[in-house]
Chains A and B, each alone.
Chain A
Amino acid sequence: SQQGEEDPQALSIQEGENATMNCSYKTSINNLQWYRQNSGRGLVHLILIRSNEREKHSGRLRVTLDTSKKSSSLLITASRAADTASYFCATDGTGGGNKLTFGTGTQLKVEL
């Protein structure tokens, strides 16, 4: 079963607006990562937040992590048409095994 579930499944916004995506997971984690996938391409890593961190920033990206609620959010500020893509969270669990488990993703469309 999928570890992470993203919400919403799809999001459509206007350029310049902020986009917020949420991820919930089920078990204890070492870290949580966000990836981006442009249509027809491979996934690209965006940001990693460790289990002892609560917030992290990278450029226009802001990620929060609440381990008590087993949830994370990705905020993209001042969105651009080029941000149109699918976004996935992935969890690196503490159960061992050296594997990342991905959620189902949020499809973001940024319109001009």
Chain B
Amino acid sequence: NAGVTQTPKFQVLKTGQSMTLQCAQDMNHNSMYWYRQDPGMGLRLIYYSASEGTTDKGEVPNGYNVSRLNKREFSLRLESAAPSQTSVYFCASRSKGAGTGELFFGEGSRLTVL
């Protein structure tokens, strides 16, 4: 079982470049999430999609855009990368609605912006 798959696993960008992180889940989950993890900061929510066709801002959305392409896929785009966006990015999904359910995480995408 693949679960949540993120690509790429590693990426190095120059300031101002753009890129898209891809995420796909094969568990038929309704909700999908993008978090970033920085040392000492825990995980901070960037954007989430409660269901196909909807997206909402999380705690730190500036500099990012998302697309819920279909029920399986949720992508995160950096239009003009900045060094402050150097981080580890995690995609997650869960099946149930608000107030219930565990998150299933991908293995992370490690992004360095020079």
List B contacts of A48 (CB < 8 A): 102
List CB contacts (< 8 Å) of B42-91 with chain A. 42-45, 48, 50, 56, 58-59, 90
Considering only CB atoms and an 8 Å cut-off, how many residues of chain B contact the other chain? Answer: 28
Chain B nearest CB: distance from A67 CB in Å? 14
Q: What A residues does B103 contact at CB under 8 A?
A: 33, 35, 43, 45, 90, 100
* In the complex, per-residue mask of A1-22: 1 if CB is within 8 Å of any chain B CB, else 0: 1101000000000000000000
**Cα of A44 to Cα of B106 in the assembled complex, Å:** 9
A interface size (C-beta, 8 A): 28
Is the Cβ of A41 less than 8 Å from the Cβ of B108?
yes
Looking at the assembled complex, report how far the CB atom of A91 sits from the nearest CB atom of chain B, in whole angstroms: 11
CB-nearest residue of chain B relative to A4?
B42
The A87-109 residues at the B interface (CB cut-off 8 A) are: 88, 90, 92, 94, 96-105
